[in-house]
Structure formats: structure tokens, C-alpha cells
Structure 1
Amino acid sequence: MKKIILLSFLAIICSTTGCKKFLDKVPSSFVAPENYFNNEKEVNTALNGVYDILSREQTFGGQLPIRHAVSTDESFFSYASFPTGPFYYNFGADDATIRDLWRYLYDGIERANVLLANLDKANMDEGKKSVVKGETLFLRAFYYFILVQNWGGVPLKLTPTTSINNVNIPRNSVKEVYDQILKDMVEAEGLVKKISDIGFGGRVSKSAVRGILARVCLNMAGYPLNDVAKFKDAATWAAKVNEYGEHALNPDYSQVFINLCKDQYDIKESIFEAELYGSNSDAFREGGRIGNENGVKCSASTDLIPTVGFAYGFVSTTRKLYTSYEYNATDASKRDLRRDWAIATYTLNASGVKANIAATNIYARNCAKWRREYEVVTPKNKNYTSTNFQILRYADVLLMLAEAENEVNNGPNATAVNALNEVRRRGYGKLLAGATNPANADYPGAISLSKAAFLKVIQDERARELCFEGLRKSDLIRWGIFVNTMQATATEFTTYAAMTTTIYKNARDAAQRVTATHLLYPIPILEMSLNKAMVQNEGY
């Protein structure tokens, strides 16, 4: 059972308004804000409404890590029935997937603004009120972070909408948006609780704020701002994540994802999660698509779905990712165990029986991190699961620390190398009970590498460790190598994949289609039509 059950009553406070302008929603409901926010219960209901955006199917409940982030050098969209979309880099300002992401992020911002504007009047413990303020500030900033990553400069809206007549809101610059993100998150860090006091990853904790601040600063240090001073801040925030000794890698890489499927929390590794609940067949309807769209392909017949589940296999590996793992068939000490958990070795047929994939058939291998066989909510829904999505985990923090330290010190230091090798040791099974010779998993000669060479090591290690978790595209963009990398990926498909197979041809075409225009999304056409102060991104 999840710790947060997101209440449908939140719509009373922060309802959407259909086709009205996304940025300028006036809550239309039976309960006006001035008559609400009177006590702790009402405040917590409204706060749950701000959190609710994280778990929507259009955000981390499905589309953000899957349809928005799937086509990179580590994965491709392996479903032929959708002809256009961000997963094929074939879209315009009228794309529904892009429009919905914009809409829900601004819904979350409006909900946060309404709560922040009314929080002071609530009759509740001041300490609890401060925690709510911190969580809300962070969530608002986090939604802006996703917006600025995908659209560049966007309108900064920091107060609730009071009139639908004020619709012309100009875009702020990328720097202005990032400055506000930093301001809100830094304030939030001093207000929220430690994760050990919360006990699960579904709430904003100091660890979550610090880890995401490291991510924000790394993005600011890279393209398009290229504010290299932020590398030092990224290193500081990443190091502070474990100030209280609350975090460590789960010794078993596979268990990280089994825990998610089983609705089990592990706050040592899993720092911040988007909460999903139930099978979407109940009154809450808070199920998501994790494991369904991006799981091991399962074609179970209708009568078996309630027990076996169903998965479309929308996300598959590239050859580059698969072959990047060291895997010596005869020498177990040279075997990266992450490969055969992250990348499927089998599919399930209509009878729910596993069928092994031929060793040479790399492109037929789906993402396998989230497996429906471990789900505990039954009967299983064909299209929805209760599996949480990890927005931030400790392995990511370690790799961010290694990257930032490398930049600050003009090459790897002991902190950077130790952080990298801690992740690698877990990948090779060296943190498991009874494991021997842990140093055998360390990257050879890492301390002697140049800054550029060590960065390449980190780039490759992030792919091996964090593949399919929705981070690769933004990583490639901030490193300034997105377009060239995608062109190289197109060449890979041409060289190694059968172009007579539709999904492989589509993947090749998608990668080949990428230009500098695709560094950003277009402003949705509806927003452009209503907001006369809005300027469209170049190329759309």
C-alpha cells in the first residue's frame, strides 16, 4: 500500500478548464480557495494535489520516461503502430503528447501557487506548515525544471491565476527560469524533513532536494547556459545527499527494480519516487504504465492477463548499449550483471511462457528493469500497474558526484573515482554477500585519466547504470553531443539492423531525423493561439 493516496477531491481546489489557456486557469469548483485551506487536513489534501502531477500517465507515470525519452543511443521505440510523436522526432506544435506534458506541468505549478498563496491562513502546527511549504516550493521548481529542459525559456508564473483575461504572458529567459528553480529548491532544502524521518521515497526529503539540485546544477553547467561555475555547486549538493549516512547502494542491482514492482520502499537507494497506486480499476485511478509499456514484451491471452499481465515492449535496446557491458561467458569476474537485468533475455508468449531470445538478436531485446511477474496487485490490469517510478536514486547521485568532481578538479580525484567504482562494484555483484576481490570491478587506471577521458567513462557508465530511466536524452543535450550521437545511432541501425523490419527502419529514420531543432519542443499550438505574448521555438 502506498503511503500517499492521491485524492480526487484535489480537483475541487485546482480543477483544469478543458480548452482554456494552460497558463491561466482559474479554479472553477464548488469550493473556492478563500473558503478552503482552513486546517491541516485541507492543506494536506491540496498538497497531495500538487504531488499528483508527478504520477500522471502523461508525466512520470508513463510518458516522460517512455515516450518522451526513449529514442537515444541507448534505446529506441519498438512499436510500429504510432506513425508520429516525440519518440520518432516526428512532430509539430499540434502533437498531443507534447501538449499534454506542457499542460500537466503548468497544472502542477498552478496547484502549487494556490497552496502557497493560502498556506499562511491554515490553523495548523507551524512546523508542519513549514514542511508543506518546502515540499510545495520544491515541486513547483521541479515542474519548471522539466519545462526548461524541454522548451527552454518559459513563462514564470509564481502566483495563482485570478482572472482569465490576463492571458498574454511572455517567456522568461532560460537563466531566469533556472535562477527561480534554484531559489525555490534551496529554500525548500531548509524546510523539508530528512528521508529517514519520512520513511519512504514518495515525499520530498532533504536527500531528494539535494540530489535534484545536483542534477539542476549539472544541467546549468552544460548546454545551453554553459555556466561552468555550477559544476562546483553540483559537487557540493551531490556530496550533501548522504550527509546523514542514510544512503547506500542496494547490493543487488535487480532488487532495486523488484522492490518497485512489489510496492516495497528502499530509502537507502530509492530517494525520490513518483507514486502509483492500484490497477486503475478502482476509484482512485492512479495506476501507471511502468512495466506495461516499457517492460519485457508479454503477449498473454485475455484469460491470462489477470495473473500474468501484459506488456507492449515499446522500449528496446540499441546495439551500442548492449555491447557496452563487459560480459565474459567463461570468466564470472568479468561479467557486468546489470546487462541481463536491464535488457531482456526473453519474451512471454500468449500462454505466458518464457521464450529465450537468440544471443545474436540484440534489437529484439526490450527494456526489462520493471517486470510484471513481480507485481503484487491482482488481478492485473492489461494496461496499468501500481509500480512506482524512481525519479532519483543513489547510484545517479554517485555518478553525478563523480562527473562534477572531475570537472571541478580538471580531472578525476579520489572522490570521483571512488564514486564511480562504487557503482561498478555493485554492477559486477561485488557488494553481494560472499563476493570476493571487489577491486576487480574497478575501472582500470581511472585516477590517471584526463578530464575528457574520465568524462567519457562517466557518460558510458551512466548509460549502463541508468538506461531506460528517462535521463539519457537530457544528458546528451547538456553534454552538447545530442545531434552527433543520434546521427551515429542512425548509422548503427543501418549497419547492424535489418531495414526490412519496420520498427528498426523507424528507429533508424528517427535517429537520422534529429537536428538542432530537436533540442527543444515546440510551444503547443493551443498555447500559441491564446497567448499573444508567446514566441515559438526556432524551427517550428
Structure 2
Amino acid sequence: MKKYIFCLPLLVLTFISCKKEFLDLNPVSVIAPGQFFKTAGDAVTAVNGCYASLALGSQYGSTFQTLMEARADNFTDQDPSSNSGQNYQINRYSDNPGNTNFYNAWVGIYNGIFRCNTLLAAIDGINMDDALKNRIKGEARFIRALDYFNLVRLWGAVPLLTIPADPVNAVNLKRDDVAGIYKQIEEDLVFASANLPDKYASTELGRATPGAAKGLLGKVYLYQKKYSAAQTVLQQVVDSKVFTLLPNAADVFSTTNKYNTEIVFAIRYAKGVANQDHGFWYANSQTITVDTTLMKAYDANDLRRPLAESAKPVGNANMMPRKFLDDPINGNAGNDFPVLRFADILLMQAEVLNEQGYSAGGNAFTYLNQVRTRAGLPALQAADLPDQASFRNEVYKQRRLELPFECDRWFDLVRTNRAISEILANKKVTLPAFRLIYPIPQQEIDIMNNRTTFPQNPGYE
């Protein structure tokens, strides 16, 4: 961490200009913070840089698909040699703290947090419209909350930084308590939901909205089993009528229908634009395959099944899930990555309602059935799901069938205490309990060199 923080002043204002699209990944320059933050335009450019950090290969551009999906059971990595076998090791639960995926994600996420913290520390010194200032604060705090949510789910206790890191004090960094990190995430999202605008201009699609902040906050509450709090904010998203299920699930992922009304928040990309596109997700010369247990879980009439099937992009030898299929330009794709969409909101709300008490009627069945019927499946009644346990299992099943490859499956298995049993049943592999979270990158352990305040996660020592 010290090594990383010493280089932060060089990273901070490799911020992003805003020209063709708000998420433009071309750096304008490397500038000291005191020289940069002078105008409202500077603040907008800086928050664009915060968004851009999410799109990098160290986060949603590539590495998250390995850390958040390859660990689970929706596809099987059959390539033990590419990337020195490191992706394969994650898929097969044989990884170690030196795996570069961990270091790349750790540094990438903290880079994004540093950008947010630097902006938040400087923005009050800018003479600008208060509403715009609070909006930008809300955007930065939303992104910081998402960053910490990913950190705590991947590694558990991590350093909690809410001001720009100081190289002199880096030696004092410690792994902070998970409860305190969740408290900060909640505070950031409450602020964001109160200060973000409901709508942006069409050229600004992709910025966080109150619906995105509340939807993410609902998921944060769900992970902590704060069901009543989750119900309240998720219901606000539903009742806002801003988001809706598209009639055809395939249209949600169409590259000609990006940021449609089902998308609550997504990471934006632009095909054919340098540094704004990405490589194909889950594709690797036919050696990464959609797991047969996922395909068998679909009913033959389930309209979502084709989205999970393997397919080839035009002019490309790789196989990949059809939901992220895109005809390449210069070998790269331009799909947006959905972080949160309305189907997820409905399934979460069905889950939290059921966890507070099973009901033979009411909204829990309504929300679950909205997702099922859109998939071409019959609505279920109390006779089909007669108790809390059967309803819970149906929600879990629909989450797997609705959201594969969207970086939810591994976390869903862990948070519901089903990872060990499901991995054994589906992948026929034993999953040791200590591998439910990842090892702290070995580089960080070596640099901090303090087993008391910065220990390795148990099992990886």
C-alpha cells in the first residue's frame, strides 16, 4: 500500500476530458491537485475521471469478470496456461496471494477511491453553483461507495480512506472493520440519493441517479441482512416508475439499445473509440465454456436461455455468452456492463419481503412473477411455493437464471451461505471455507509488513 500511495500524486489528475461522450478515457494531462481544481468545468472533468476508473481493465473492463464470476459456477475455465494459469486457478480454487488479478483489482479500485477523495477534498474550494457542486459530490460518493462495496465483498476488512492518502502517513494504514466500511458506504449512498438529479441530458447517460444510489443501497442493506431498510429503499426505486422491465430480455443487452429503461446503472463503453472499448468478456479461444449446470437449470421454454448460450462474434474464433455478443471493431467490443438493473431490484425486493415473513400473496409474489413471466415462464402461486424456504429457493434460482455473467453469482452464493454446497454439487470441486474471500495481494502484505494491523486473510498465510 505504501508503494502504491507514493505514486498516487502522479495518478490523481490523469483525469478525463469530456468531449464526444461523458465517459471519455483519454487523459488530458498529469496535474497537481492545487493547480487543477479552479472551475466548475474542472470538477466535472474530475468526476468523469472517477467514472472512468470503473471502466478500466482492473475493474469492470476485465478483472472483475474473473474475480466475481469465474469463482462461481456459471462457466468453467479449461485453459490452465493463459495468463500463467492465474484465471484458471481462481476458477479452480487454487489461487495464491501472488495472483496478479488480485493486485490489479486492489490498485485499480483504490485508484478510483483516490480520485473520488481528491475531488471531494477540493470541490468546496471552487466557486460554483451549489446544486452542481452537490450533484458532483453525490456522483463521487456513489462511485466511492461502489468501490468500497466491491472491496469489502472481495477481501473483507480493508483500509478505509475518505480523504486523499498522504504518503507520510501511509505506514499507519490498517485493515478497518467491515462494519465501519459498510457504515461509510451507507452514508455515501444516502448522500448521493439526496443530491443526484432524477434526469440528465441524453448526452450524459451513465451518470448516477437517485434510483442508482437507492438500488445500490438496497443491495448493501441486503448483504447485511438489514431487510426492513432494504425494503424501504428498494420500494422507492420500484414506486418511482423510472425503471421498468423491457418486454424482451434480449433487448436489455442490445448494443443499439444501450442504457434503456431497465438499466439502473451501467459502466459505459464506446466501440471503435480508442480507450473506450473493451475486449470480449468470458471469451478465450473456446477454452472457457458456459457451465452445463447453468444451462440445465433453465426450463426449455425460458426465453433467457439463449442469452446464456455460447456464441461467436463475427470474425472472431472465441466463444462467449450471447448476452455480451457484439460485432468487433479492431478486435474490441463496446457493450456497456450492467452493474444494476431493474430485474435485480425486483428480485431483491421479493427476497427481502420474504425474509421478513412469508406471505401467500402480496408483492413478494408479484415481483418474483414479473421476472418469471417476462422470461416466458408461468406465474407461481402459494400452491407452488407454500412456505418461506421454497420461496427463498425460487428467488435464488431466478437470480442465477436472470443475472449470469453480471458479477452477482459468486457474491450471491457467499452471502446466502450456499457457496460450499453449490460449488460441490455443480463443479464437483471442494471449496475450502477460507476461500470465500480472497487473499490480500502479497505485494501489499510485504510492503506493510505488520501482521497486527495488516494481516493476511486466514488460510492464505
Give the structure-2-normalised TM-score: 0.88
- Is residue 2:207 matched to residue 1:203? yes
Q: C-alpha deviations, 1:30-62, integer Å up to 9, x for none?
A: x32122211111111111111111101121112
Give the Cα separation in 1 of the matches to 2:426 and 2:28.
44
Residue of structure 2 aligned with 1:250, choices 246, 250, 256: 246
Question: 1:412·1:454 contact (CA, 8 Å) conserved in 2?
Answer: no
Q: Partner residue of 2:86?
A: 84
Matched, 1:336 2:253: no
2:170 is aligned to 166
8 Å Cα contact 1:150-1:521 kept in structure 2: yes
Q: Work out the CA distance in 2 between the residues paired with 1:37 and 1:351.
A: 44
Cα contact 1:293–1:312 (8 A) shared by 2: no
Aligned partner of 1:103 in structure 2 is 107
User: For residue 149 of structure 1, what is the aligned residue in structure 2?
Assistant: 153
Query: Match of 2:216, as an amino acid?
Result: I
SS at match of 1:102: helix
Q: Does the alignment pair 1:485 with 2:434?
A: no
1:241-390 alignment, distance < 5 Å: 241-258=237-254, 261-262=255-256, 264-279=257-272, 282=274, 285-289=275-279, 292-294=280-282, 312-313=285-286, 315-327=288-300, 335-344=301-310, 347=312, 366-373=320-327, 380-382=329-331, 384-390=332-338
The structure with more radius of gyration: 1
State the SS of the aligned residue for 1:202. coil
Letter in 2 for 1:396: D
Structure 1 position 119 matched with structure 2 position 119: no
Structure 1: gaps spanning 5 or more residues = 13-30, 222-229, 296-310, 328-334, 353-363, 429-439, 492-510
Q: Do 1:133 and 1:188's aligned partners in 2 also have CA atoms closer than 8 Å?
A: yes
Distance across 1 between alignment mates of 2:174 and 2:80: 38
1:413 is displaced (CA, Å) by 4.2
CA RMSD in angstroms comes to 2.4
Q: Kindly state the Cα deviation for residue 153 of structure 1 after the two structures are TM-superposed.
A: 1.0
Structure 1 residues 449 and 197, CA gap change in structure 2 (3 angstroms): farther
Summarize deviations over 1:95-118 as a string: whole Å, max 9, x none. Answer: 101111011111111111100000
Structure 2 CA distance for aligned equivalents of residues 287 and 456 of structure 1: 38
The one-letter code of the counterpart of 1:143 is D
Q: Distance in 2 between matches of 1:236 and 1:191?
A: 18
Q: CA deviation at 1:197?
A: 6.3
2:14 alignment counterpart: none
Once the two structures are superposed, what CA deviation does each residue of 1:307-351 show, in whole Å capped at 9, x if it has no partner?
xxxx64565322222122111xxxxxxx1111122213x557979
Distance 1:11 1:350, change over 3 A: closer
- Preserved contact between residue 86 and residue 100 of structure 2 (Cα < 8 Å): no
**1:359-394 Cα distance to aligned partner (Å, 9 max, x none):** xxxxx9852111123x6xxxx122x32211011111
The answer to whether the 8 Å contact 2:351/2:392 transfers is yes
Q: Name 2:227's counterpart in structure 1.
A: 231
Decide which of 154, 178, 183 is 2:182's aligned counterpart. 178
Cα deviation, 1:131-159, whole Å, max 9, x if unaligned, reads: 00011111111101100001001111111
Q: Does 1:538 align with 2:455?
A: no
Equivalent residue in structure 1 for 2:443, among 519, 523, 526: 526
SS in 1 for 2:340: strand
Q: Secondary structure at the match of 1:273?
A: strand
Aligned partner of 2:48: which letter?
A: N
Letter in 2 for 1:63: T
Q: Which has the higher helix share?
A: 2
Q: Determine the C-alpha separation between the residues in 2 that align with 1:411 and 1:50.
A: 43
Do the aligned residues in 2 keep the contact of 1:170 with 1:534 (CA within 8 Å)?
yes
TM-score with structure 1 length normalisation? Answer: 0.76
State the partner residue of 1:497: none
Cα drift, residue 80 of structure 1: 4.0
Q: 1:313 to 1:238 in 2, by over 3 A?
A: farther
Structure 2: gaps spanning 5 or more residues: 1-18
Letter in 2 for 1:525: Q
Query: 1:223-271 CA deviation, whole Å, 9 max, x = no partner?
Result: xxxxxxx01111112111133311111111111111xx33x33441011
Distance (whole Å) between structure 2 residues aligned to residue 251 and residue 244 of structure 1: 19
CA distance in structure 1 between the aligned counterparts of 2:28 and 2:347, rounded to whole angstroms:
37
**Structure 1 residues 471 and 201: CA distance shift in structure 2, 3 A:** farther
Report deviation, 1:78. 4.0
